[in-house]
Amino acid sequence: MAVKITTRAENYSQWYIDIILQAKLADYSPVKGSMVIRPRGFAIWEKMKSVLDSMFKETGHSNAYFPLLIPESFIKKEAEHIKGFAPELAVVTHGGGEKLEEPLVIRPTSETIIWAMYKKWIQSYRDLPLLINQWANIVRWEKRTRLFLRTTEFLWQEGHTAHASKAEAQEETLRMLFVYQNFAESFMAMPVLTGEKTESEKFAGAVKTYSIEAMMQDRRALQAGTSHNLGQNFAKAFDVTYQTQNGERDHVWATSWGVSTRLVGALIMAHSDDRGLIIPPKLAPIKAVIIPIFNNQNKSRVLSYAKVLFERIKTSYSTEIDDDEQNKPGWKFAEWELQGVPVRIEIGPRDMENDQVVLARRDTGKKITIPAKDLEETLGNLLEEIQNNLYHRALLLRKKNTYQIKEYAEFKEIFDGPGGFIESAWCGNPECEAKIKEETKATIRVLPLGRDELKNHNCIYCGSTADKIAVFSKAY
């Protein structure tokens, strides 16, 4: 037994790390807190990237690239922004062997450099809206890191838009939030809550921050994407104004939104099991793998039969064939399960004789035997079924572990015990939020969207009148 994955029950954190290392998604780099994304991990990110990128294009955004290095003074222009990011900045003080006159910051996010440029590009309402996205790496000096979930350097996408009105910026903020929701649910098969962040969890420099939040298998929350309404904060800091239709000047209204390689971590923790990775078919770089089963007598016949089937499906279903002769089938089964390939196609002498193939699905492990002529159709349906099943499985987990709680004693009990999501009324006072965090380690993940204003409710903590529902959870 070469490969051993710690079970989730034994140690959830170790399980997560084992999967990443064993499935060769990533590896630790020599620099503390940073990681190498290996081909198998990067392939998943590339898939995510291409789906998201086309969603951004469909909503009217164009890609551009802004530089990695930002003058330190830029970061300092927006008061809240610098306050939020100062502790996490990596600063370049030397270049070309000489001390720099002004230190350069490695971008922790690009608002400042982008708004410095937007000032040059925006003069009139005719220049608006300006809808730009960039795919980039960023650096935030993190004290405590975890593969994919929090590393010093990571890859992400950041959209930065400028608008002529407050309402339009708000509309854009929510539009992109829903793009993220759609991506998470339809492609990652990962149900998410959408909602607004509280003041304390808001992005430094935003007027409002919204996020999508998913429940991982250990019942903790993971923030999987954020969308910010920046109001006029950056426009004012960088003095970006435009001339309105009736000749007046106004500061422009802004949004920014992003998702990162953290999504790969989310994907792992949402679906995978004690045998290894499980990738939802829509994001799986390899959707099916053919394992020919042969011995010395029938090797050439089985292989050629398997290869005919392989040729039939390889382009429409991005299939691989594992015709290695060293490892036995059982070894291959385990190996490809570890890699998370959604469907395994077993083809042996028995199947060859009966014109059939065996399909094994990664999510449930169940095997079915089907006529070879039905392969394309059945495989297509099966992939769809797996995608749906993963989503519903994750949704069920969240439902089972979401509670509506009115009594603080009960609230505490849940976070002392199994954990999960708790929906409770909250008065809006940051002090109650802080106390709850102190006492239970749970934070407000979101104030969910689409909930009616509450009547006759009392704050879970202080008991005073509350008109908001908040979702509490321990979070990554």
Nearer to RNA, 112 or 260 (CB): 260
* Start-to-end Cα distance in the chain: 32
* Residues linked to residue 37 through DSSP beta bridges, in sequence order: 26
Q: Are 387 and 282 in contact (CB under 8 A)?
A: yes
Cα separation, 31 vs 315, whole angstroms:
39
Q: Among residue numbers 273 through 292, which ones bind RNA (CB under 7 A)?
A: 275-276
User: Does residue 211 touch RNA according to CB under 7 A?
Assistant: yes
Torsion from C-alpha of 148, 150, 155, 160, nearest 10 degrees: 130
- To the nearest whole angstrom, how small is the minimum distance from the Cβ of residue 231 to RNA? 17
What are the CA-CA distances from residue 147 to residues 13, 93, 157 (Å)? 10, 28, 18
Residue 261 and residue 155 in contact, taking contact as beta carbons nearer than 8 Å: yes
In the structure encoding, which two tokens stand for residue 202, read together?
A: 């808001």
Site for RNA in 16-45 (CB under 7 A): 17, 28, 31-33
How many residues make contact with RNA (CB under 7 A)?
A: 67
What is the per-residue binding string for RNA in 353-382, x denoting contact by CB under 7 A?
A: -----x-x----x-x---------------
Tell me: does residue 9 bind RNA (CB under 7 A). no
Q: To the nearest whole angstrom, how small is the minimum distance from the Cβ of residue 258 to RNA? A: 7
Options 2, 246, 247, 249; binder of RNA; rule CB under 7 A = 2
CB atoms within 10 A of CB 474: 18
Residues 36 and 27: beta-carbon distance below 8 Å: yes
Q: Which of 333, 415, 426, 472 binds RNA (CB under 7 A)?
A: 333
CB nearer to RNA: pick between 315 and 326: 326
Nearest distance in Å: CB 238, RNA: 21
Burial status of residue 101 (CB atoms within 10 A of its CB: 0-12, 13-18, 19 or more) = exposed
CA distance 412 to 26: 37
And the tokens for 337? 């399960």
Distance in Å, CB of 122 to RNA, minimum: 26
The amino acid sitting at 433 is E
Q: Report if residue 3 touches RNA, rule: CB under 7 A.
A: yes
Residues 65-84 within binding reach of RNA (CB under 7 A): 84
Of the candidates 292, 353, 307, 83, the residue with the CA atom closest to the CA atom of residue 202: 83
**Which residue type does 83 have?**
K
350 binding RNA? (CB under 7 A): yes
CA-nearest of 74, 106, 65 to 238 is 74
Which one of 88, 274, 376, 416 is in contact with RNA (CB under 7 A)?
88
Is the CB of 329 or the CB of 380 nearer to RNA? 329
Contact mark string toward RNA, 140..179, x via CB under 7 A: x-xxxxxx-xxxx-x-------------------------
Cβ proximity to RNA, 219 vs 332, nearer residue: 332
Does 338 help bind RNA (rule: CB under 7 A)? yes
Among 8, 163, 208, 262, binds RNA (CB under 7 A): 262
Determine phi and psi for 165, rounding to 5 degrees. -145, 160
Angle 257-262-266 from CA coordinates, rounded to 5°: 115
Among 134, 173, 226, 255, binds RNA (CB under 7 A): 226
- Confirm or reject binding of residue 435 to RNA (CB under 7 A): no
**Element holding 413 (H helix, E strand):** helix 408-416
Which spans of this chain sit near RNA (rule: CB under 7 A)?
Answer: 1-3, 13-14, 17, 28, 31-33, 84, 87-88, 140, 142-147, 149-152, 154, 201, 203, 211, 223, 226, 260-262, 275-276, 293-296, 299, 325-335, 337-338, 344, 346-352, 358, 360, 365, 367, 441, 475
